[in-house]
């Protein structure tokens, strides 16, 4: 293989040399014929066959020598300015295909190198950096999914084993069955959220703009949590502007409200308070959902929209860390905006800014 490559390089050099030889021979021959013709006409000089033969031999030797020199110079130039950077780019690309996203191209700057290769190297390095970040996210995603799947599965296996215990009381049997049901629902919710997030991130879901009553949608979403707020004796306060019609994807926005309400009730203690405020200002509508829960620190607030991030590392409050990631993705797709204000021990307020009319 190495001998074959060497042979190809030699053939390439000879081919280049012949091209230069023919070009220089043609140019010099034409120039010499023109020069001799002018000399003979203007000065009346007559050249003998011996003179022309000697001149032809000398000219041929010069052409051979000049062709060789120019070929060598061109070979060295191409080696430095073309082949070397191309080799670096190819080697880096091969490492990328093998999964090494840490590779970066560092081209030496010289007077012969084309700026285009530096542009290619810069673009390649940016691509490698993005791929590296994507690979890290993928690895973290797989690790987090594996962890989140193991927890409910372990609960289900443990309680299923306990159900097989001889002499188990009816009370315990019902209790264990409920725990298995809760774990299975948690597993189903996790898988459902992963599928939804995957569709959203891969743009397999596109906004369907229809006209609907925003206030009515929020009331329906809030009422779906009635059992929870009654069980925890949570006070509900609403200030919803009537007849606020907007054009957007009602189904996708419903996902936002369900997740925000779910978090509000989840982190609000018994006897706490959850409030909803909906107001329009010009072409925008502002939805504020406030709870009197545990609040969020600045450190946690910087990551709450990350996939699988959970502020409660003890997992004392059940969740899979995908709810707010889904919310953020929907907000981005619908070209809306979301912000959060929170204080530890005093609760949080999530504010969603929506275009009342379709913004295209």
Q: In this predicted structure, what is the pLDDT of residue 290?
A: 93
Environment class of residue 224 by beta-carbon count within 10 Å: exposed (0-12), middle (13-18) or buried (19+)? Answer: middle
Return the percentage of the chain with pLDDT > 90, whole number: 9
* Long-range CB contact pairs, 177-183, < 8 A, 24+: 179/155, 180/155, 180/156, 183/152, 183/153, 183/155, 183/156, 183/159
**Spatial distance between the Cα atoms of 172 and 154, rounded to a whole number of angstroms:** 18
Examine the pLDDT at 309 and tell me if it is beyond 60: no
Nearest to 101 by CA among 74, 123, 128: 128
- Report the chain's mean pLDDT, rounded to a whole number: 77
Nearest to 280 by CA among 213, 335, 328: 213
Give me the residue label for tokens 């994507």. Answer: 134
**Spatial distance between the Cα atoms of 104 and 120, rounded to a whole number of angstroms:** 12
How confident is the model over 271-290, as pLDDT tens digits?
Answer: 999 999 999 988 889 999 99
Q: List the beta bridge partners of residue 352.
A: 287, 338
The runs of H, that is alpha helices, within 164-212 are: 170-201
The pLDDT of 210-232, averaged and rounded, is 88
Residue 17, H or E segment: helix 2-43
Q: In this predicted structure, what is the pLDDT of residue 133?
A: 67
In this structure, the dihedral spanned by the alpha carbons of residues 125, 130, 131 and 136, taken in order and rounded to 10 degrees, is 130
Q: Quick one: pLDDT band at residue 322, thresholds 50, 70, 90? A: low
Q: In this predicted structure, what is the pLDDT of residue 275?
A: 93
CB 353 within 8 A of CB 337: yes
Q: Quick one: pLDDT band at residue 319, thresholds 50, 70, 90? A: very low
The pLDDT of 246-264, averaged and rounded, is 84
Give me the residue label for tokens 């906004």. Answer: 207
First to last CA, the chain: 59
Instruction: Using DSSP bridges, classify how beta strands 347-355 and 210-213 pair: parallel, antiparallel or unpaired.
Output: unpaired
User: Which has more pLDDT, 204 or 88?
Assistant: 88
The pLDDT of 233-245, averaged and rounded, is 90
Q: Quick one: pLDDT band at residue 353, thresholds 50, 70, 90? A: very high
Q: List the beta bridge partners of residue 276.
A: 238, 289
Residue 211, H or E segment: strand 210-213
Residue 246, H or E segment: strand 245-248
The token pair at 77 is 């130039």
The pLDDT of 306-317, averaged and rounded, is 47
Q: In this predicted structure, what is the pLDDT of residue 313?
A: 40
Environment class of residue 163 by beta-carbon count within 10 Å: exposed (0-12), middle (13-18) or buried (19+)? Answer: middle
Q: Quick one: pLDDT band at residue 88, thresholds 50, 70, 90? A: confident
Give me the residue label for tokens 């060789």. Answer: 68
Q: Quick one: pLDDT band at residue 298, thresholds 50, 70, 90? A: low
Q: In this predicted structure, what is the pLDDT of residue 318?
A: 47
> What is the full DSSP assignment across 142-158?
HHHHHHHHHHHHHHHHH
Q: In this predicted structure, what is the pLDDT of residue 315?
A: 41
**Spatial distance between the Cα atoms of 190 and 187, rounded to a whole number of angstroms:** 5
Residue 12, H or E segment: helix 2-43
> What is the full DSSP assignment across 250-300?
HHHHHHHHHHHHHHHHHSSPTT-EEEEEEEEETTEEEEEEEE-SS---HHH
Q: List the beta bridge partners of residue 288.
A: 277, 351
Q: In this predicted structure, what is the pLDDT of residue 274?
A: 92
For residue 22, how many other CB atoms are within 10 A of its CB? 12
Q: List the beta bridge partners of residue 278.
A: 240, 287
How confident is the model over 18-33, as pLDDT tens digits?
Answer: 776 777 777 777 776 7
């Amino acid at each position: 293989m190495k001998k074959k490559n060497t042979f190809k390089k030699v053939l390439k050099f000879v081919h280049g040399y012949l091209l230069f030889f023919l070009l220089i021979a043609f140019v010099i021959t034409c120039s010499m014929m023109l020069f001799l013709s002018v000399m003979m006409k203007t000065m009346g000089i007559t050249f003998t066959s011996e003179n022309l033969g000697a001149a032809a031999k000398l000219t041929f030797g010069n052409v051979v020598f000049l062709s060789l020199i120019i070929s060598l110079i061109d070979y060295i130039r191409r080696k430095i300015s073309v082949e070397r950077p191309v080799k670096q780019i190819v080697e880096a690309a091969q490492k990328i295909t093998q999964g090494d996203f840490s590779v970066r191209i560092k081209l030496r700057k010289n007077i012969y190198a084309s700026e285009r290769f530096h542009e290619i190297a810069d673009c390649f390095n940016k691509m490698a950096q993005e791929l590296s970040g994507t690979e890290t996210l993928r690895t973290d995603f797989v690790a987090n999914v594996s962890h989140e799947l193991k927890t409910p599965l372990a609960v289900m296996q443990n309680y299923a084993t306990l159900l097989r215990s001889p002499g188990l009381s009816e009370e315990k049997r019902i209790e264990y069955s409920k725990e298995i049901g809760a774990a299975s629902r948690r597993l189903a919710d996790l898988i459902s959220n992963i599928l939804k997030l995957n569709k959203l991130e891969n743009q397999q879901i596109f906004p369907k703009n229809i006209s609907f009553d925003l206030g009515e949608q929020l009331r329906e979403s809030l009422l779906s949590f009635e059992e929870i707020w009654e069980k925890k004796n949570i006070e509900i306060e609403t200030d919803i502007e009537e007849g606020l019609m907007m054009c957007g994807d009602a189904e996708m926005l419903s996902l936002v409200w369900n997740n925000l309400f779910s978090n509000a009730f989840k982190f609000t203690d018994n006897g706490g308070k959850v409030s909803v405020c909906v107001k329009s200002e010009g072409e925008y509508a502002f939805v504020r959902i406030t709870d009197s829960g545990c609040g969020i620190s600045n450190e946690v607030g910087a990551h709450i929209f990350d996939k699988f991030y959970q502020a409660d590392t003890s997992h004392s409050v059940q969740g899979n860390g995908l709810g707010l990631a889904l919310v953020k993705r929907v907000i981005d797709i619908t070209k809306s905006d979301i912000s959060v204000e929170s204080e530890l021990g005093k609760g949080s307020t999530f504010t969603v800014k929506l275009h009342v009319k379709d913004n295209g």
